[in-house]
Amino acid sequence: MRASFLSFSPPSLGDAERNEVMDTLNSDWITTGPKTKAFEAKLRDYVSAPGIVALNSCTAGLHVGLVALGIGPGDEVIVPAMTFCATANVVEHVGARPVVVDVCPDTLNLDPEAVAKAITPRTKAIIPVHYAGHPVDLDAIFALAKQHGLLVMEDAAHALPAKYKGILVGSRSNLAAFSFYATKNLTTVEGGCLTGASDLIDQARIIGHHGMNRDAWKRFDKSGSWYYEVVLPGFKYNMTDVQAAIGLHQLDRLEGFQRRRREVVAAYEKGFRDLTALQLPVERPEVESSWHLYVIRLNLDLLTIDRNTFIEELKARNIGTSVHYLPVHMHPFYRDKYGYRPEDCPVAADAFSRMLTLPLHPGLSEEDVADVIQAVRDTITTFSRS
């Protein structure tokens, strides 16, 4: 057993990020300013997005996106059961109803067949989530949206730099929101962005900065003006230059991060493929996952312990894990408000009871990976029914 505890997903920060932050702190700009604009431009080019606005979180991106799309009271928005609560929370924030539907058994992404059954005359939009970094079946989702006249906004919190049929997620004209939270593939500590058609992004930029006209951030700079107008009641969602300073160098390192993530995934696949007590994550042939998370599912009928005890056993072996996620329809707020039952989304409910997320980040050494594999194998051997 390893001597020290292996954290689930610490950030990978280097001297370049630290030096850029200090340069920012020593400058005249620490909030939204030139480095935020440089980060936006660099990320827009990387993703090949038609437009982009940097924000303080992916949740902010989803929220301003719904506002920009005109979603409001009386509307319904379809969301997957297997996602972080923010995907549904933002729908509540604009006064609409999140309609929670089940996910595909292999990827745990939004199930197009479940979406089709959930569409009503009040449905206005679909928010597909690229769960764990594996792209959703976008062709099927967009076909349904076109058939029923619906809007699509992608929750791409896990999906930088995932590809669907060779195209980076976030490069389309529909809105897509990304997260740069501390555990993400690219971090700005806290932060996110929204990509999409330039007219929608222009509107989102105003909504996310108090409703001020678009160049209000320059009002303290020599090139700006003190005068601004509020054109709508917006929110305080802007990214700061301190955050963007980190993002500028994280983006330079992203391809290297991804190579290491794929190496770890390959090692896990090799180390676990013979274990019938495990259901391993998949990567469909038409996609390139960002491998933000490595989520395994236990075949509990082959074990004498449940998922929670399995997690405790790994912790006792100094391996940190997490669970992604308690399905939306099982959270007390959504359960009680809308009367959801676990069996309303049986695939998500079953997956939750069996899942745990193993460490996956570019800082893992070969020894770390070997320790994770050994700990999982040892736990299965110890608690196997056979």
Query: So what's the pLDDT on residue 214?
Result: 59
Beta bridge partners of 76: 97, 123
Q: 184 catalytic, yes or no?
A: yes
Q: For the chain, 386 residues long, give each residue's pLDDT as a single digit of tens.
A: 899 999 999 999 999 999 999 999 999 899 999 999 999 999 999 999 999 999 999 999 999 999 999 999 999 999 999 999 999 999 999 999 999 999 999 999 999 999 999 999 999 999 999 999 999 999 999 999 999 999 999 999 999 999 999 999 999 999 999 999 999 999 999 999 999 999 999 999 999 999 987 566 666 666 667 788 899 999 999 999 999 999 999 999 999 999 999 999 999 999 999 999 999 999 999 999 999 999 999 999 999 999 999 999 999 999 999 999 999 999 999 999 999 999 999 999 999 999 999 999 999 999 999 999 999 999 999 999 97
Per-residue tokens: 377:
């194998």
Query: So what's the pLDDT on residue 217?
Result: 61
CA dihedral 167, 170, 175, 177 (to 10 degrees): 150
Reply yes or no on domain 254-382 having CATH 3.40.50.970: no
Query: So what's the pLDDT on residue 1?
Result: 82
Query: So what's the pLDDT on residue 208?
Result: 96
Query: So what's the pLDDT on residue 246?
Result: 98
Residue 181: CA atoms inside 13 Å, Cβ hemisphere, count? 17
Instruction: Residue 134: name the closest of 113, 155, 112 by CA.
Output: 155
Per-residue tokens: 334:
């959504």
Q: Which CATH class is domain 15-251?
A: alpha beta
Could you count the other beta carbons within 10 Å of the beta carbon of residue 68? 23
CA angle 332–192–112, rounded 5-degree value: 55
Query: So what's the pLDDT on residue 386?
Result: 76
Query: So what's the pLDDT on residue 312?
Result: 98
Residue ranges per structural domain of the chain: 15-251, 254-382
Distance between CA atoms of residues 87 and 157, nearest Å = 10
Active-site residue, from 117, 165, 184, 315: 184
Sequence letter at residue 380: I
Query: So what's the pLDDT on residue 340?
Result: 98
Query: So what's the pLDDT on residue 202?
Result: 95
Contacts of 376 (CB under 8 A, 6+ apart): 271, 272, 275, 278, 296, 314, 319, 358
Is there a contact between 209 and 152 (Cβ–Cβ < 8 Å)?
A: no
Instruction: Residue 64: name the closest of 176, 198, 214 by CA.
Output: 176
This prediction has a pTM of: 0.96
Query: So what's the pLDDT on residue 223?
Result: 65
What's the N-to-C CA distance of the chain in angstroms? Answer: 24
Instruction: Residue 125: name the closest of 52, 169, 50, 175 by CA.
Output: 175
Query: So what's the pLDDT on residue 213?
Result: 78
